[in-house]
């Protein structure tokens, strides 16, 4: 082992999973953002932890509504993933410019995304401010799977790949 710059070492984390976080304003529009910083963080009850930049629109909405849907996207959603990661929810209605098909959720207001590998309706139970980001811990209320096998991974630099899962 040799010592190197932290940022150079962090790039060695790839490939990393990709998730789509869907959220909806109170009485308003839904939006979606791709993230790489997410993990399961509890067994009973099952919870997802997502990490969002404090100045992003997704952070603002989820801070108020205390709910989100986490989707594990299929590779068929690649173009929309890249688009949603390149524009701001403050300025753009992402669903207007994407081909995502939504399905009404059962226990939260944000919709689930058809053609994802899996989707999870989550209710925020805790938050942790880490400085310029916040971790939102969401208890999984309802889970869905599509039967698709073409999971999306990020190799860095907006380079997405397909990995067929069992």
Q: What is the CATH number of the domain that holds 110?
A: 2.30.110.10
Q: How far apart are the first and last CA of the chain?
A: 35
DSSP 8-63: HHHGGG-SEE-EEEEEE-TTS-EEEEEES-EEEEETTTTEEEEEEETTSHHHHHHH
Could you give the 3-state DSSP secondary structure of residue 69? strand
Residue 97 lies in a domain: yes
DSSP 87-148: S-TTT--GGGGS---EE--SSSSSPEETT-SEEEEEEEEEEEE-SSEEEEEEEEEEEEE---
Residue 39 lies in a domain: no
Residue 101 lies in a domain: yes
pTM greater than 0.85: yes
Number of domains in the chain: 1
Reported as a single tens digit per residue, the pLDDT across 140-151 is 999 999 999 999
DSSP 74: B
- CA separation for the pair 125, 25 (Å, rounded): 18
Query: For 20, how many CA atoms within 13 A lie in the half-sphere containing its CB?
Result: 34
Residue 4 lies in a domain: no
Q: How would you classify residue 156: left for phi > 0, otherwise alpha for psi between -120 and 50, otherwise beta?
A: left
> Residue 127 has which token pair?
């938050």
List, for the chain, all residue ranges whose pLDDT scores fall below the cut of 50.
Answer: none
Q: Which domain holds residue 125?
A: 15-33+44-152
pLDDT of residue 87: 95
- CA separation for the pair 82, 42 (Å, rounded): 29
Q: Which helix (H) or strand (E) holds 6?
A: helix 6-10
Residue 104 lies in a domain: yes
pLDDT of residue 27: 87
């Amino acid at each position: 082992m040799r010592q190197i710059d932290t940022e150079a070492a962090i790039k060695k984390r790839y490939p990393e999973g990709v998730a789509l976080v869907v959220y909806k304003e109170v009485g308003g529009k839904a939006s979606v953002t791709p993230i790489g910083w997410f993990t399961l963080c509890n067994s009973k009850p099952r919870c997802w932890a997502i990490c969002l930049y404090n100045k992003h629109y997704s952070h603002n909405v989820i801070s108020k509504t205390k709910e989100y849907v986490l989707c594990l996207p299929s590779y068929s959603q690649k173009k929309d993933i890249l688009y949603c990661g390149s524009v701001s929810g403050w300025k753009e209605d992402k669903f207007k410019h994407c081909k995502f098909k939504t399905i009404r959720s059962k226990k939260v207001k944000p919709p689930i995304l058809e053609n994802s590998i899996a989707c999870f309706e989550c209710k925020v139970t805790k938050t942790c401010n880490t400085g310029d980001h916040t971790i939102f811990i969401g208890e999984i209320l309802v889970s869905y799977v599509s039967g698709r096998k073409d999971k999306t991974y990020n190799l860095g630099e907006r380079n997405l790949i397909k990995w067929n899962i069992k």
